[in-house]
């Protein structure tokens, strides 16, 4: 099973930048998208179907905001949208697909960059979602969680750790949440295969040239529970793919 996770920062904008042409190269069996900023009625889904993808969407109630989607060439046994938390579901943040004994969860974690109110909600979401994952894990020990976590975990995951100590996405409380999350039986799959520095998945659009100079953050992840550890085959970051301020990340797993 080859899986891509990709914050497209607006699927319609990504399509204008060649996203569909990239899909035609068959980059993965399953494409998990975050921040789609659209509904399925806003694009020509026949193009996806012609490429062999079944598609599932969970758009935000607010138009042009947030939302997640999954395009898959492997038919899921079940699909579930939402996680039961009001604000999270209003913003279209979580979609789950079951493939045999493996559950794939595609999630778009909140950002706190727009101010204290959203940062407070981010902490609330992280607490709620951690409890939600622990509950799911009891029934489904084989879990894959992918998406834009909006957190750079360690200093190796950010180009300027000293200068960003007070920046949302690298705050001590957020990094402690990642410690707790990984300590609860999850594996950061990229670091299994890539211990090297300077590998990032997002570059700010506020500062010209940061992508060219690779001044980025690694805030997009594939995490799996420990029962899947021996089934991991590969993980990577496709920094050369440019339809968004993020780039796709990749996981290959034996099923």
Q: Give the single-character DSSP code of 246.
A: B
Give the pLDDT band (50/70/90) at residue 79. very high
pLDDT higher than threshold 90 for residue 208: no
Confirm if 165 and 204 have CB atoms less than 8 A apart: no
Share of the chain above pLDDT 70, in %: 100
Phi-psi category of 176—alpha, beta or left, where left has phi over 0 and alpha has psi -120 to 50? alpha
Specify the CATH number for the domain of residue 222.
3.60.10.10
Token pair for 173: 């409380």
- Please calculate the CA angle 154-121-202 and round it to the nearest 5 degrees: 40
CA dist 142 → 33, 59, 137, 231, 255 (Å): 21, 26, 7, 10, 11
Domain count, the chain: 1
> What pTM did the predictor assign?
0.98
Question: Within a 10 A sphere around the Cβ of 21, how many other Cβ atoms?
Answer: 10
Tokens of 10: 């607006």
Q: In this predicted model, what pLDDT tens digit does every residue of 146-177 receive, in sequence order?
A: 999 999 999 999 999 999 999 999 999 999 99
Out of 148, 157, 188, 220, the active site residue is: 148
CA distances for 213 relative to 59, 77, 159, 204, 243, angstroms: 34, 43, 10, 12, 18
Structure tokens at 142: 């084989």
Q: How confident is the model at residue 207 (pLDDT cuts 50, 70, 90)?
A: confident
pLDDT at 210 over 90: yes
The helix, strand and coil proportions of the chain, stated in percent and rounded to the nearest 5, come to 30, 25, 45
Q: Domain of 146?
A: 2-253
The question of whether 179 is a catalytic residue gets the answer: no
């Amino acid at each position: 099973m080859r899986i891509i996770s990709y914050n497209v920062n607006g699927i319609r904008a990504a399509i204008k930048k060649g996203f569909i042409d990239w899909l035609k190269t068959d980059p993965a069996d399953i494409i998990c998208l975050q921040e789609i900023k659209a509904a399925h009625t806003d694009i020509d889904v026949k193009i996806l179907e012609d490429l062999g993808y079944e598609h599932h969407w969970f758009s935000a109630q607010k138009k042009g905001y947030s939302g997640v989607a999954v395009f898959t060439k492997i038919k899921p046994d079940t699909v579930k949208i939402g996680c039961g938390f009001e604000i999270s579901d209003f913003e279209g943040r979580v979609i789950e697909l079951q493939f045999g004994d493996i559950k794939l969860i595609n999630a778009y974690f909140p950002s706190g960059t727009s101010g204290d109110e959203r940062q407070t909600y981010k902490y609330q979401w992280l607490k709620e979602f951690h409890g939600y994952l622990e509950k799911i894990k009891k029934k489904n020990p084989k879990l894959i969680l992918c998406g834009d976590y909006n957190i750079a975990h360690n200093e190796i995951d950010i180009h300027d750790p000293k200068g960003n100590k007070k920046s949302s996405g690298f705050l001590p409380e957020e990094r402690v949440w990642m410690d707790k999350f990984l300590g609860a039986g999850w594996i950061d799959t990229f670091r299994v295969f890539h211990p090297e520095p300077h590998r990032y998945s997002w570059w700010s659009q506020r500062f010209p040239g940061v992508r060219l100079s690779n001044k980025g953050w690694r805030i997009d992840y594939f995490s799996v529970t420990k029962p899947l550890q021996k089934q991991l085959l590969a993980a990577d970051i496709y920094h050369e793919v440019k339809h968004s301020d993020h780039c796709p990340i990749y996981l290959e797993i034996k099923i």
